[in-house]
Structure 1
C-alpha cells in the first residue's frame, strides 16, 4: 500500500512530493482496480493546483477583501482579522482518510454490512473547505467598563456580521450552500433567512468547548467551494491553543483506535488502507521531515511556509479598533 509518509522524507519540494505520490498511487490503483484510490488521486490534484496559487485565488480573495472593507466602515470600534488559507497537504490527507474510516464504520454499525463502492464514492464528494476564510473579531475591553456587557456586545456583532455575509457575497458571484440541518442555529440573534446556511457551534455547546459559525459558499467564477468561519478572539484561542486543539488531537487518536477494533481486519480493504494511512500520519515525527520551506523543532514548534502542515496563508488583513480610549455610550 502506498502512503504519503513514504514521500515526506525524500528532501523533495511539496510539489514534487505531491506529483510522485499521485503518480504512484494512480498506477497502483489502476493495477488493483481500486476506485477509491483513483478518487484519492483527483483529490490530491486539487490540493496541488490550489497550492500553486492559481489566478482565481487573487480574484476570489479580492471579493472577500471587499467584505473586510465593509466591516472597517460599519465597525470602526471593533478589532478583527480576516484571513484565508489553503488546507495543508497533511491535514487534507488526514481528512480524506478520516472520512473513509468514519463513513464505513458508521455504516457497518448501523447496517451490519459494508457500503458499496458507489455509496462510498458519493460520501467523498463532501469536501468543501480546501479553501477557507476566517473572520475573528474582538471587542476591546476599553470600550466597556462591564465585562458581561462587553461579551454581549461582541456576540451581537458576531451574529450581525453573520447575517450580512451571505447576501454580501451572493452579490459578488458566490452562492451559499444549505447546511442541511447540520448544527442548525438556535440563536435568536441569527436571522431566519440565513439560518439554514450556517453550522452554529456556538448556540449548542461542544464537548471540547469549540465555538464558531461555519458557512460554505460555491464560487461561481472559479467553480470551487470555500468555507467561511466567524468567531471571537476568545473562541479562536480555544480552537487554536486551547482545549479544542489539544484534547481534540488526543480524542481523535482514541476514537480512531476504537473504530479499528470494531471492524474486522481484512474484510474491507478501503477501511483497512484508510485507517493505516491515517494512523501513519498521526505518528509523523515532524522534526525529521525535509520538505522545502518547512521546518520543525518538534511536533509543537513548527514553521510551515509551504502548506505542508498548517496550510498556506492567502489573505491576511487586520483591522485594529479605533477610539481605543473612548467608551461607547
Structure 2
C-alpha cells in the first residue's frame, strides 16, 4: 500500500513529494482498480495546483483586507487579527483518510453494513477548506464596565460581524455556500438570512470544548472555495493550545482504536487502507523527517517553512484596540 509517510524522508521539496506520491498512488490505483485511491489522487492534485499556482491569492487576500478595513472603522475598540493559511499537506492527508474512516464507521454502526462505493465517493467530494481565513476578536478590559461582561460582549460582536460578512463579500465576487443544516445555529444573535450559511460550533457543546463559527465561500474570480472561521480570543486559545487542539495525541489514538476494533479487518479495504494511513501519520516523529524547509526538534518545537505540518501562511493582519479617549480625538 502506498502511503505519504514513505516520501517524507528523502529531503525533497513539498512539490516533489506530492508529485512522487500522486504518481505512485495513481499507478497502484490503476493496477488494483481502487476507485477511492483515484479520488485520493485528484484530491492531492488540487493541493499541488494550489501550491504551484497561487497568484490569485494576492487578489483574494486584498478582498479579505477590505473587510479588515471595514472592521477597523466600525469596531476601533476591538482588538482583532486576520490570518489566512493553505491547509498543510499532512493535515490534508489526515483529513481525507479521516473522512473515509469516519463515514464507513458511522454507516456500519447505523446500518450494520458498509456503504456502497457510490455513497463513499459522494462523501469524498466536499473538500472546501484548502484555503482558510480566521478572524479572532477580543474586547480589552479597559473598554468594559466590569470583567464579567467580557464573554457576552465579545459574543455579541462576533455574531454581529458574522451577520455582515456574507453580504460584504458577496458584493466583492464571493458566493456564500449553504451549510446544508450542518451545525445549524440556534443563537438569537445570528440573523435569519445568514443562518443557513453558518456552521455554528458555539451553540452546541463539543466534547473537546471547540467553539467557532464556520462559513464557506466560492471565489468566483479564482473559481475556488475558501472557508472563514470567526472566533473570540478565548475560543482560539482553546482550539490552538487547549483541549480542542486536535483532541491531543492520546485521545486521537483512542478514538481511532475504537473505530478499528468495530470494523473487522479484511472486510472493507477502503476502511483498512484509510485507517492504516491515518495511524501512520498520527505516529509520525516529526524530528526524524527530512523535508526541504522543514525541521523539528520534537513534536512541539517545529519550524515549518514549507507548509508541510502547519500550513502555508497567506496573510497576517492585526488591529490593536484604541482607547476611548483616542476615539474622541
Q: TM-score range by the shorter chain?
A: over 0.9
Please report how far the alpha carbon of residue 5 of structure 1 lies from its aligned counterpart in structure 2 after TM superposition. 0.2
Alignment partner of 1:118: what SS? Answer: helix
Q: Distance in 1 between matches of 2:242 and 2:150?
A: 22
Q: Map 1:149-168 to 2 at 5 A.
A: 149-168=149-168
User: Where does residue 316 of structure 1 map in the other structure?
Assistant: 316
User: Where does residue 44 of structure 1 map in the other structure?
Assistant: 44
User: TM-score, normalising length from structure 2?
Assistant: 0.96
Structure 2 residues without counterparts, runs of 5 or longer:
none
Contact 1:7 1:17 survives alignment (8 Å): yes
User: Where does residue 85 of structure 1 map in the other structure?
Assistant: 85
Q: Distance in 2 between matches of 1:222 and 1:270?
A: 33
CA 81–181 in structure 1, closer or farther in 2 if over 3 Å, else same:
same
Please report how far the alpha carbon of residue 220 of structure 1 lies from its aligned counterpart in structure 2 after TM superposition. 1.4
Contact 2:47 2:130 survives alignment (8 Å): yes
Q: Map 1:61-210 to 2 at 5 A.
A: 61-210=61-210
Contact 1:217 1:226 survives alignment (8 Å): yes
Q: Distance in 1 between matches of 2:129 and 2:264?
A: 32
The C-alpha deviation readout for 1:185-234, integer Å capped at 9, x for no partner, is: 11111111111111111122222111111111111111111110000111
Q: Distance in 1 between matches of 2:276 and 2:42?
A: 20
Which stretch of the first structure deviates more once superposed, 296-305 or 51-60? Answer: 51-60
CA 246–120 in structure 1, closer or farther in 2 if over 3 Å, else same:
closer
Contact 1:131 1:227 survives alignment (8 Å): yes
Structure 1 residues without counterparts, runs of 5 or longer:
none
Q: CA RMSD in A?
A: 1.5
Q: Distance in 1 between matches of 2:60 and 2:317?
A: 14
CA 286–325 in structure 1, closer or farther in 2 if over 3 Å, else same:
farther
Number of residues paired by the alignment?
Answer: 328
Q: Map 1:160-309 to 2 at 5 A.
A: 160-245=160-245, 247-309=247-309
Q: Distance in 1 between matches of 2:221 and 2:209?
A: 36
CA 235–147 in structure 1, closer or farther in 2 if over 3 Å, else same:
same
Please report how far the alpha carbon of residue 54 of structure 1 lies from its aligned counterpart in structure 2 after TM superposition. 1.7
Runs of 4+ in 1 over 6 A off after TM superposition: 324-328
User: Where does residue 30 of structure 1 map in the other structure?
Assistant: 30
Q: Distance in 2 between matches of 1:207 and 1:33?
A: 39
Contact 1:142 1:325 survives alignment (8 Å): no
CA 53–80 in structure 1, closer or farther in 2 if over 3 Å, else same:
farther
Which stretch of the first structure deviates more once superposed, 244-253 or 171-180? Answer: 244-253
User: TM-score, normalising length from structure 1?
Assistant: 0.96
Q: Distance in 2 between matches of 1:150 and 1:266?
A: 53
CA 248–214 in structure 1, closer or farther in 2 if over 3 Å, else same:
farther
The C-alpha deviation readout for 1:28-50, integer Å capped at 9, x for no partner, is: 11111111111111111111122
User: Where does residue 17 of structure 1 map in the other structure?
Assistant: 17
Contact 1:218 1:226 survives alignment (8 Å): yes
